[in-house]
Amino acid sequence: MQTYLSTLGYEIWVAIENGYTTPSTPITDATKKKAYENNSKAKNSIMCGLVYRELVKVMNYELAKE
C-alpha cells in the first residue's frame, strides 16, 4: 500500500505519515486546500483497497492516518 500511495505523489504519503489537522474555520489558503485534498486522496485510496467487512470498520474516519 505504501508503494501505491507513494506513486500518487509524495504529498499523499506525507498526509498519512504526518497526519492532517482538520481546521476549525473554512479553508481559504491554497496550501491548506492542497493538504486537505491530499488527505482526501489518501483516505480514498486506502478505502478502495479494503474488502467490505474492513471498510465498514473505518468508513467514518475523517483522517487518512486514523
- Longest CA–CA span in the chain (Å) reads 37
Q: Does residue 3 have a pLDDT over 90?
A: no
pLDDT given for residue 64 in this prediction: 84
pLDDT given for residue 62 in this prediction: 85
What are the tens digits of pLDDT across the range 10-62? 888 888 888 888 888 899 999 999 999 999 999 999 899 899 999 899 989 88
The structural domains of the chain, with segments of one domain joined by +, span: 2-58
8-17 burial by CB neighbour count: b if 16+ within 10 A, else e? Answer: eeeebbbbbe
